[in-house]
Amino acid sequence: MNIKGSPWKGSLLLLLVSNLLLCQNVAPLPVCPGGAARCQVTLRDLFDRAVVLSHYIHNLSSEMFSEFDKRYTHGRGFITRAINSCHTSSLPTPEDKEQAQQINQKDFLSLIVSILRSWNEPLYHLVAEVRGMQEAPEAILSKAVEIEEQTKRLLEGMELIVSQVHPETKENEIYPVWTGLPSLQMADEESRLSAYYNLLHCLRRDSHKIDNYLKLLKCRIIHNNNC
Amino acid sequence: MKENVISATVFTLLLFLNTCLLNGQLPPGKPEIFKCRSPNKETFTCWWRPGTDGGLPTNYSLTYHREGETLLHECPDYITGGPNSCHFGKQYTSMWRTYIMMVNATNQMGSSFSDELYVDVTYIVQPDPPLELTVEVKQPEDRKPYLWMKWSPPTLIDLKTGWFTLLYEIRLKPEKAAEWETHFAGQQTEFKILSLHPGQKYLVQVRCKPDHGYWSAWSPATFIQIPSDFIMNDTTVWISVAVLSAVICLIIVWAVALKGYSMVTCIFPPVPGPKIKGFDAHLLEKGKSEELLSALGCQDFPSTSDYEDLLVEYLEVDDSEDQHLMSVHSKEHPSQGMKPTYLDPDTDSGRGSCDSPSLLSEKCEEPQANPSTFYDPEVIEKPENPETTHTWDPQCISIEGKIPYFHAGGSKCSTWPLIQHNPRSSYHNITDVCELAVGPAVAPATLLDEAGKDALKSSQTIKSREEGKAAQQREVDSFHSKTDQDTPWLLPQEKTPFGSAKPLDYVEIHKVNNDGALSLLPKQRENSSQPEKPRAPENSKEYAKVSGVMDNNILVLVPDPHAKNVACFEESAKEAPPSLEQNQAEKDLANFTATPSKCRIQLGGLDYLDPACFTHSFH
């Protein structure tokens, strides 16, 4: 490391750093830049992506519920208090295959979007509350964070699909509002646990609904009911 | 009255209980719904387990209500699912809704209710096993053979609309094997297996599961016999590849082992250490200095014996009494001391130094050992022999102290190395000289400087300076009187390498001019030992240039056309001592060839060449 080598080394380092910085600015070819309505991504790819996301979200929700129940509420009959506790039950969602086949495509898509939108806020508060817990369960918290993230992405994808399948659909921001936050913050542990149980129970159910609906729609729209 | 009624009632009850107990009839035990399953998300079935039997026929009824409703329903189908089951048809099945159901067991004695069971069809999905599993061995001509298996989804599952999504898994094993080989097949209904053992019978099974739910049971096993000629090309290829790789590795290892060192030196060349060209440490250890120096390239060095002559030139005092010195010294080597015949002028060597009056005049005055005594190099090896009684030992010793080259007891000083008789003997000293210095040219010059100076000093210490010149003059005279003791420059008879066509002849140095030219006289072979009169200077040829050295001990001289007149030496003789000193002091070997005069040292009328300059001429 003589003095003569230092300026050369310095210039090399500078070159390397500048290259790295420039490389940062080189954006990869986007599949669908910025979620624009004029996106060139095919509907098939959009649906495939959406199905993957919905499948993933339900797996996470199911695991989160199982872990919570095993740890806090197993065998204590909390299920009895979870009846009719979901805030999305007011939505006219189909409950069997025949009903699902009778609903039209557009309404079906709107329905899915509504459910996804209605879960934005509960997920946000769920993460905040679990994070603020003393001895926050890391497994549950991490899954909650991931579910919140992926749900946002799924919503974006759904909006893209809607813009492609039904471009004339005007934005309908009506969705069921969740009001369970006070319950999550109750001082009584039993009540608080019940609130969490209900929330996770409903999340598991609705994520399964969305996954099933999207698979139905994919086969209907892309494969023409010939999956 | 009341008491009678009460007692009668109690009596009746006890009687009834007694009767019942005697009959063994009890109300039914509490049933339990233990399993609910939906194979296709369109129907589902629940099974219960009856409680203890009361001994009487028991009726079971299942009642349920659904989430968000209050109406109580009874099981629509007790048959389809088998005994103690309730089957819910399509119109009764709803997804994403909790069913709260319980079973009521009733017999004559009473009834009992099971616990409520909360069931959501969403989470109880478990399909039936796949159907129609077919397995066959396919062997296309151009490709590798494989096992091909196909199956179909279970019935009643709607895959086309996407309501239901199935994932498959297959497993197979040889008939006798213990472990199954399992493969996940995804949503496809066919599968290929490539790695099989020929000649074995395989079992194959398949199962399925919904996207979110339970795995089905394994389908019934299908047997398939793999033919014996099932060629496993993969194995052959991999075996040949492995063998080839092993062979290559062995070759590489062998090559590295053989030439590992050379390869390593090629990649990492060894750092050269300091090395003297031609220097062999081994020779140094053995003490073979002559070989060492010859390897070093001292070959071009003027012959060691001659070199000694040159060196000795400054130290020896040529005197007829020198023979006594040698005889004294020849204690160690009696044979040499008894050889006065070596005073043959032909063999007289080493006398020239003693003939130099300026240097060792005092030494030469004293009775000297026979200068022509055979000089034994081995004797010379003992510098620690100062007790040898030599008349002029002190000076020699003192010089020797400075110059180990001039060894024991002045024998060196008084000895003119006999070149012709023992040319090799004096090599020893030259090699010693070379050892002491970096280069052969430098060492003798250095030694000579010291020798000359020391000799001069020593001579001065012993004798008063005012007599110096006279002594030198006497030395010159004595030198002249002893031509036999002249330092002969012996030229071998052999052909010189310098292209001289004339036969070589032995000459003796008559004098050395100011310019350093040697005035040589033809050597008189017969009767040459006692010529008392000097040769006619005009007959002498002046050789001032040494053109080369032969045989390491013979100088080949060529005449110098620019040599000074011989007669000029007379007056320059007086200034010989200072000139000697001066010339020695300003030893510039590089200028020898250009200015031979520097090497010319006039000592008592005789010109001597500084051997140091000679040495330089050969480099």
Does residue B379 surpass a pLDDT of 80? no
User: A-chain residues within 8 Å CB-CB of B97?
Assistant: 95
Contact A97 B41 (CB under 8 A): yes
Within 558-597 of B, beta carbons closer than 8 Å to A belong to none
> How many residues are recorded in chain B?
619
| Most confidently modeled range among B3-7, B432-436, B546-550 | B3-7
Does residue B190 surpass a pLDDT of 60? yes
- Top pLDDT among B60 and B493 is at B60
Q: What are the distances in angstroms from CA B528 to CA B344, B348, B482, B508, B554?
A: 8, 11, 10, 11, 20
Angle between helices B357-365 and B304-315 (to 10 degrees): 70
Q: Looking at the partner chain, which of A83, A96, A101 has a beta carbon nearest the beta carbon of B67?
A: A83
Contact A83 B98 (CB under 8 A): yes
Place of tokens 């010089």: B399
pLDDT of residue B232: 59
User: B-chain residues within 8 Å CB-CB of A58?
Assistant: 212
The two tokens of residue B405 are: 């080259």
Query: CB neighbours (10 Å) of residue A191?
Result: 13
Give the distance from residue B161's alpha carbon to the nearest chain A alpha carbon, in angstroms.
Answer: 5
Percent of chain B with pLDDT over 70: 43
- What is the spatial distance between Cα A135 and Cα B512, in angstroms, rounded to a whole number? 114
The two tokens of residue B37 are: 């399953």
Establish if A95 touches chain B: CB-CB under 8 angstroms.
Answer: yes
Helices (H) and strands (E) in chain B, counts: 18, 22
Angle between helices B442-462 and B468-481 (to 10 degrees): 110
Establish if A80 touches chain B: CB-CB under 8 angstroms.
Answer: yes
Is B585 within 8 Å of B449 (Cβ atoms)? yes
Is A48 one of the annotated binding-site residues?
no
Segment (H or E) for A53: helix A43-68
Residue A152 corresponds to which amino acid?
K
The two tokens of residue B212 are: 């979110």
Contact B211 A101 (CB under 8 A): no
The CATH superfamily of B23-123 is Immunoglobulins (2.60.40.10)
- Chain A: residue whose CA lies nearest to B65: A83
- Chain B: residue whose CA lies nearest to A84: B68
Segment (H or E) for A7: helix A5-25
pLDDT of residue B341: 42
pLDDT of residue B311: 54
Establish if A89 touches chain B: CB-CB under 8 angstroms.
Answer: yes
Contact B96 A95 (CB under 8 A): yes
Is A211 one of the annotated binding-site residues?
yes
C-alpha closest to that of A106 among A54, A163, A174: A163
Angle between helices A120-132 and A105-118 (to 10 degrees): 20
pLDDT of residue A200: 96
pLDDT of residue B340: 43
Does residue B482 surpass a pLDDT of 70? no
Residue-wise pLDDT tens digits, B263-315: 777 888 878 877 777 666 666 677 666 666 666 665 555 555 555 555 555 55
- What is the spatial distance between Cα B143 and Cα B72, in angstroms, rounded to a whole number? 65
pLDDT band at residue B55 under the 50/70/90 scheme = confident
Is B394 within 8 Å of B458 (Cβ atoms)? yes
What's the angle, vertex CA A27, arms to CA A21 and CA A31, rounded to 5?
A: 160
Q: Among A103-112, B57-66, B352-361, B491-500, whose mean pLDDT is lowest?
A: B491-500
pLDDT of residue B15: 80
Segment (H or E) for B172: strand B166-174
pLDDT of residue A13: 81
Q: What are the distances in angstroms from CA B539 to CA B371, B501, B522, B566?
A: 27, 21, 9, 10
- What is the spatial distance between Cα B580 and Cα B572, in angstroms, rounded to a whole number? 11
Percent of chain B with pLDDT over 90: 28
C-alpha closest to that of B477 among B395, B371, B357: B357
pLDDT of residue B339: 43
- What is the spatial distance between Cα B148 and Cα B152, in angstroms, rounded to a whole number? 14
- Chain A: residue whose CA lies nearest to B92: A96
Q: Which residues of chain A have pLDDT under 50?
A: 29-30
Output the average pLDDT for chain B: 67
- What is the spatial distance between Cα B53 and Cα B30, in angstroms, rounded to a whole number? 9
Within 64-83 of B, beta carbons closer than 8 Å to A belong to 67-68
Residue B168 corresponds to which amino acid?
Y
Residue-wise pLDDT tens digits, B125-171: 999 999 999 999 988 888 888 999 999 999 999 999 999 999 999 99
Q: Which residues contact B179 (CB under 8 A, 6 or more apart)?
A: B173
Residue A147, CB half-sphere, CA atoms under 13 Å: how many? 32
Give the distance from residue B48's alpha carbon to the nearest chain A alpha carbon, in angstroms.
Answer: 20
pLDDT of residue B407: 40
Q: Looking at the partner chain, which of A80, A101, A205 has a beta carbon nearest the beta carbon of B122?
A: A205
Mean pLDDT to the nearest integer, B392-414: 40
Question: Which CATH number describes the domain made up of A55-170+179-223?
Answer: 1.20.1250.10
- Top pLDDT among B616 and B492 is at B616
Does residue B400 surpass a pLDDT of 80? no
Residue-wise pLDDT tens digits, B509-567: 666 566 655 565 665 544 444 444 444 444 445 555 667 666 666 666 666 555 444 44
pLDDT of residue B275: 72
Q: Looking at the partner chain, which of B95, B159, B165 has a beta carbon nearest the beta carbon of A95?
A: B95
Give the distance from residue B179's alpha carbon to the nearest chain A alpha carbon, in angstroms.
Answer: 30
Provide the 3-class DSSP secondary structure of residue B557.
strand
Residue ranges per structural domain of chain A: 55-170+179-223
Is B446 within 8 Å of B609 (Cβ atoms)? no
Does residue B348 surpass a pLDDT of 80? no
How many residue pairs bridge chain A and chain B with CB atoms within 8 Å of each other? 68
pLDDT of residue B433: 41
Provide the 3-class DSSP secondary structure of residue B350.
coil
Residue ranges per structural domain of chain B: 23-123, 131-236
Fold observed for domain B131-236 = Immunoglobulin-like (2.60.40)
Residue B310 corresponds to which amino acid?
L
Residue B341's Cβ-count burial label (10 Å; 0-12, 13-18, 19+) is exposed
Residue-wise pLDDT tens digits, B560-614: 555 444 444 444 444 444 444 444 444 444 444 444 444 554 444 455 555 555 5
Interface confidence: ipTM more than 0.90: no
pLDDT of residue B9: 86
For B539-586, strand residue ranges (E) read: 541-550, 554-559
Contact B122 A79 (CB under 8 A): no
Establish if A220 touches chain B: CB-CB under 8 angstroms.
Answer: yes
Establish if B94 touches chain A: CB-CB under 8 angstroms.
Answer: yes
The two tokens of residue B480 are: 């002249």
- Top pLDDT among B121 and B618 is at B121
Segment (H or E) for B169: strand B166-174
Contact A219 B162 (CB under 8 A): yes
pLDDT of residue B510: 62
Return the HEC string of B188-238.
CCEEEECCCCCCCEEEEEEEEEECCCCCCCCCCCEEEECCCCCCCHHHHHH
User: B-chain residues within 8 Å CB-CB of A112?
Assistant: none
Provide the 3-class DSSP secondary structure of residue B359.
helix
Mean pLDDT to the nearest integer, B490-511: 49
Is B431 within 8 Å of B289 (Cβ atoms)? yes
The two tokens of residue B194 are: 């490539």
User: A-chain residues within 8 Å CB-CB of B119?
Assistant: none
Residue-wise pLDDT tens digits, B79-130: 999 999 999 999 999 999 999 999 999 988 888 999 999 999 999 999 999 9
